[in-house]
Amino acid sequence: MVLVGIAVTVVGMGMFVYAIRHQGIDLTVLLGGSACSAWAPPV
């Protein structure tokens, strides 16, 4: 279960960074990345 949390956090952070680097990207991706990072359990 810890690996799942780590994977979700990495994916969420990756989406967040990608959205910031590509300002023209959909806001849903930015919000989705933030939600994934917030949902991930503390490791």
pLDDT, tens only, 24-33: 556 666 677 6
Q: Residue 13 domain-assigned?
A: yes
pLDDT above 70 as % of the chain: 51
pLDDT above 90 as % of the chain: 0
35 Cβ contact list (under 8 Å, min separation 6)? 12
Q: Residue 19 domain-assigned?
A: yes
How many folded domains does the chain comprise? 1
Nearest to 40 by CA among 6, 1, 3, 15: 6
What is the pLDDT confidence band of residue 11, given thresholds at 50, 70 and 90?
A: confident
Predicted TM-score (pTM) of this structure: 0.41
Which residue range(s) make up the domain with 8? 2-36
